[in-house]
């Protein structure tokens, strides 16, 4: 009798161990579903910064470009602009100019523009994944659709906000050109 109990307990423990392994396993970033679940996990933990790694390559580059343009413009403003215009523009550019990297730009913009709130509100299980070459759509159980693009590394990246980030990077570049021209005028006037 004792032997049967030990065998039954061993089988039960093995089954529980296998079930626990299966439940804890998460798809790789080599699948759109895996990236979506990593985003959901990061947002669930309140770690907005971690979602930056799940953006597509263009979105990440745009965030870095925004930071670089704003930092360069701020340096030029600091060195050439008179008050009160200097303080006004520095305050306007501060969040991105003082960012450590593109991830900080992403955190600021995605929070301010409500993108993280949108993601948090729409997060649910994956109902369906459609892959078409280097593009994919993850449809959630709540009916939200998230676009993904295959990154240069072969991993997938969220591309829902890419167009808006690229537009902001272009705006930052244009603003930088305007700041440079005005700074040259201020330097000549001195």
pLDDT score for 178: 97
Distance CA 146, CA 115 (A): 12
pLDDT score for 159: 97
pLDDT score for 124: 85
Distance CA 63, CA 69 (A): 10
pLDDT score for 26: 67
pLDDT score for 7: 43
Residue 140 β-bridge partners: 126
pLDDT score for 77: 98
pLDDT score for 123: 85
Mean pLDDT per 10-residue section of the chain, whose length is 190 residues:
44 45 62 94 95 97 98 98 96 97 98 95 91 96 94 93 98 98 94
pLDDT score for 148: 97
Distance CA 145, CA 126 (A): 10
pTM over the 0.85 mark: no
Note whether 74 and 93 are within 8 A (CB).
yes
pLDDT score for 74: 98
Note whether 140 and 127 are within 8 A (CB).
yes
């Amino acid at each position: 009798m004792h032997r049967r109990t030990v065998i039954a307990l061993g089988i039960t423990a093995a089954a529980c161990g296998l079930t626990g392994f299966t439940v804890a396993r998460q798809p790789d970033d080599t699948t759109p579903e895996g990236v979506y679940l990593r985003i959901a996990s990061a947002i669930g933990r309140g770690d907005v910064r971690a979602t930056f790694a799940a953006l597509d390559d263009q979105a990440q580059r745009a965030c870095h470009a925004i930071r670089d343009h704003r930092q360069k413009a701020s340096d030029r403003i600091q060195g050439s602009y008179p008050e009160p215009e200097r303080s006004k523009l520095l305050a306007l550019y501060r969040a991105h100019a003082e960012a450590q990297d593109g991830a900080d730009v992403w955190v600021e913009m995605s929070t301010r523009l409500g993108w993280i709130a949108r993601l948090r509100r729409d997060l649910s299980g994956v109902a369906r994944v459609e892959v078409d070459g280097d593009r994919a759509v993850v449809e959630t159980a709540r009916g939200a659709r998230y676009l993904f693009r295959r990154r240069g590394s072969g991993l997938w990246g969220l591309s829902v906000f890419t167009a808006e980030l690229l537009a902001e990077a272009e705006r930052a570049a244009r603003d930088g050109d305007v700041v440079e021209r005005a700074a040259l005028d201020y330097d000549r006037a001195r």
